[in-house]
Amino acid sequence: MPTYRRRRSALFMPASNPRAISKARTLPCDVVILDLEDAVAPEMKDDARGAALAAVAEGGFGPRELVIRVNAIDTPAGAADLAALRQVEVAPDAVLLPKLAGARMVADARAALGDDIPLWAMIETAAALLALPAIAATGDFGLAALVAGTNDLALDLRCRPGSDRGPLLPALAQIVAAARAGGMVALDGVLNAIDDPERLRAECDQGRGWGFDGKTLIHPAQIDAANAAFGPTPAEHDWATRVIALFADPANARRGAAKLDGAMVERLHLAEAERIVALADPA
């Protein structure tokens, strides 16, 4: 069975804030993203980079995946970020690339960073949307996740999403499709309204319905809603365990489909059942 990691909740934390980094080690999020870009003032870029690399080296994040969002790689700060990461002895779990404009930037980042650290990519520009088929084909460069940058994308498209995010839904669907085509994880964009739990729940449910694996967040108070929405429900877990048992039965060893609860279940559903069980019961 393939190895699956939970990415229900991916929390951005400013790398320039030592208290935030310390708190991140205690939070129930699946992913911590130490941000060197939007959350860091220009005069703090160098200090933030040093703090992020020190936090990675120190560790203590437990099962949480630790990702560093660098500055745009076509800027001096971004180039410095990648150069510094290439030299580290202890690397983060991934590097998140912002302001991606096309597949060439993925290749450039890989060349600058070296071969070892997986790449994640923000899809937050109109150019990135148009380049999604090419970006989805950059798996050979170690691209492992697509992250919807809904704030920047809305600005670049000059659309007004509103609470239902209607104008962004076609773009979100494209991001999920590209991620699946490239065998990658897809993470939904952030919600700025941190004091609106009902909207957060609705947006998490919407993202889950559109196929995202999890949601990026900007505040610890948003973690529980994301974990609840993007984790398997008890009913889904029950179905998955019974599908696995169904095809483990020697009587069904040569069958491509079998009957479960009055419906036919095909062997192609077995992989999804195994994924659900793995996410519900991580090792």
Domain assignment present for residue 3? The answer is no
Domain assignment present for residue 106? The answer is yes
Domain assignment present for residue 4? The answer is no
Render each residue's pLDDT in the chain as its tens digit; 283 residues. 567 889 999 999 999 999 999 999 999 999 999 999 998 999 999 999 999 999 999 999 999 999 999 999 999 999 999 999 999 999 999 999 999 999 999 999 999 999 989 999 999 999 999 999 999 998 889 999 999 999 999 999 999 999 999 999 999 999 999 999 999 999 999 999 999 999 999 999 999 999 999 999 999 999 999 999 999 988 989 998 999 999 998 888 888 898 888 888 998 899 889 888 888 876 5
Q: Are residues 192 and 92 in the same domain?
A: yes
Domain assignment present for residue 245? The answer is yes
Q: Are residues 158 and 266 in the same domain?
A: no
Residue 111 exposed, middle or buried by CB count within 10 Å (0-12, 13-18, 19+): exposed
* Cα(164)–Cα(166) distance, integer angstroms: 5
124 is in an annotated binding site: yes
Q: Are residues 89 and 40 in the same domain?
A: yes
Q: Are residues 36 and 161 in the same domain?
A: yes
Q: Are residues 151 and 262 in the same domain?
A: no
CB 33 within 8 A of CB 12: yes
End-to-end alpha carbon distance in the chain: 12
Q: How many domains are there within the chain?
A: 2
Both structure tokens of 8: 């229900």
Task: List 260's β-bridge partners, or say none.
Answer: 263
Q: Are residues 118 and 201 in the same domain?
A: yes
Domain assignment present for residue 143? The answer is yes
Domain assignment present for residue 206? The answer is yes
Domain assignment present for residue 59? The answer is yes
Q: List the domain range (segments joined by +) for residue 177.
A: 9-230
Sort strands 31-35 and 9-14 into parallel, antiparallel or unpaired.
parallel
Task: List 67's β-bridge partners, or say none.
Answer: 33, 94
Q: Are residues 202 and 248 in the same domain?
A: no
Task: List 69's β-bridge partners, or say none.
Answer: 35, 96
Q: Could you tell me how many residues make up the chain?
A: 283
Q: Are residues 50 and 153 in the same domain?
A: yes
Q: What is the pLDDT of residues 66-94, one digit of tens each?
A: 999 999 999 999 999 999 999 999 999 99
274 is in an annotated binding site: no
69 is in an annotated binding site: yes
